Copies of this chain bind each other. A is one copy, B any other.
Amino acid sequence: MSALHFSRVVIVGVGLIGGSLALALKRAGVAGKVIGVGRSRASLERAQALGVIDEAAPLEVAAKGASLIVLCAPVAQTFALLHALEPHLEPGTIVTDAGSTKSDVIMAAKTALGDKVAQFVPAHPIAGRELNGVEAALAGLYEGKKTVLCPLQENARADVAAVRAMWEAAGADCHVMSAVQHDAVFAAVSHLPHVLSYALVAQVANAEDAALKLDFAGGGFRDFTRIAASSPEMWRDICVANRDALLREIATYQSVLAHLKARIEASDGEGLERVFARASQARLAWGAQRAAAANVEP
């Protein structure tokens, strides 16, 4: 047994993210019993049959004697889950989450948990697959991936350290930043591109000559719109959850686009090229750095 050990781990939402974490903690030998909580009995039964969880239980039962409770359900459910958990949350239990947005999750946690929010350590593992559900869960999903921790002032240092150690046991590299910073970063590099990609596909698909346009769409369109095939429900929730940071990024983007439009209106090739060249250099440098760091596709 490792020095790090959680005797009773509760995974709330046993899909790709929660299931992969359960498998990773089992593989690392840091989890005793793993209890799954979820809305779908069929899905919990599959998780148990696959050996992802040891048993299934309702949240209030699962919470009894839990060392660690990890929320892996969609972020929109955070308040309801923590509100239901609060009366059953014991003093020795650490609660954490895996949500893609943090300010709203923290707001929900403070409202739902009151003073017990000190036991809640917000986190966001940056990992995913194109597949969903517990069948897609992999013990290695978090290996070499980043996890962001956004500790609260109220958190005990030991609890933050335990959550960090848990993610490290799952193979992730942990980074600490404020929730505001986290939400601004992901609004810019993830949430905004999703909105922009959905918007382009909606525009082309709604055009009178949609069939002709799609017939001539090539590799550039394919890459630009790949993320527009993502789950509409998940991205709806993320957009609403990270509303403020995303609105700021959209407003900035509207200014950048208006600037480029004005350059095109003025047939100002030089002005356009300045922006394009800077972007092109930044993209090439990012790709090269990323490829060098991780030996992945630029």
Contacts and interface: CB of A to CB of B under 8 A. Distances in A.
A126 interface: yes
Contacts of A233: 273
A212 interface: yes
B286 A217 contact: yes
Interface in A176-227: 177, 181, 184-186, 188-190, 192-207, 209-210, 212-214, 216-218, 220-227
Contacts of A148: 216
Contacts of A232: 273, 276-277, 279-280
A41 interface: no
A185 B201 contact: no
Contacts of A273: 232-233, 236
A264 to B, nearest CB: 5
Contacts of A265: 243, 247
B202 A189 contact: no
Interface stretch (A1-9, A50-58, A251-259): A251-259
Nearest to A204: B188
Interface in A63-96: 76
A279 B205 contact: yes
Given A233-B273, A279-B228, A194 B220 contact: yes
A248 B233 CA distance: 31
Nearest to A256: B199
Contacts of A201: 279-280, 282-283
A230 interface: yes
Contacts of A253: 199-200, 203, 257
Given A236-B269, A250-B260, A254-B261, 15 more contacts: A181-B209, A184-B209, A188-B204, A188-B213, A190-B220, A193-B225, A197-B224, A197-B279, A201-B279, A202-B282, A203-B249, A203-B256, A214-B282, A228-B283, A250-B257
Interface of A: 76, 126, 146, 148, 177, 181, 184-186, 188-190, 192-207, 209-210, 212-214, 216-218, 220-233, 235-237, 239-240, 243, 246-247, 249-254, 256-258, 260-261, 264-265, 267, 269-270, 272-273, 275-280, 282-284, 286-287, 290, 297-298
